[in-house]
Amino acid sequence: MWGLKMTDEELKQLVASLAIDQKEMAKESNKRNKETNKQLKELGKQIGGLGKKFGSFTEGLALPSMTKILRERFKMVVISPSVRVSKNGIDAEIDVLA
């Protein structure tokens, strides 16, 4: 077709070489995929931690104002931040309980 002539032996060697190359590329690809998945998992943990810290920071900023409003407007006596409740296998978090 392109003017190349190969013997049967040369063709067999080429096919064998291509098969080996393909296996090596598949191994390398799997290795990269595992590493990428590991990095994505770690990034997810970091983002989750950052979100939790930001939420705590925001709650901390809002709590003084909420406390003032709850006492002055609603005459609340007990105000408690961050209450966690568990019942029948269901967990809930209440940011402010008054």
Instruction: Encode pLDDT of 24-58 as tens digits.
Output: 999 999 999 999 999 999 999 999 888 888 877 87
**At CA 65, angle to CA 59 and CA 66, rounded to 5?**
70
Q: Tell me the residue range of the domain where 82 lies.
A: 8-97
pLDDT attached to residue 7: 87
Alpha-carbon gap, residue 6 to 61, rounded angstroms: 77
Query: What is the rounded CA–CA span in Å between residue 37 and residue 40?
Result: 5
pLDDT averaged over the chain?
Answer: 88
Encoded tokens for 59? 């709650």
The secondary structure of residue 77, as a DSSP letter, is S
Whether the per-residue pLDDT at 72 is higher than 70: the answer is: yes
Contact indicator for 82, 98 with CB cutoff of 8 Å: no
Residue 52: half-sphere exposure toward Cβ, Cα within 13 Å: 7
Structural domains in the chain (count): 1
74: in domain? yes
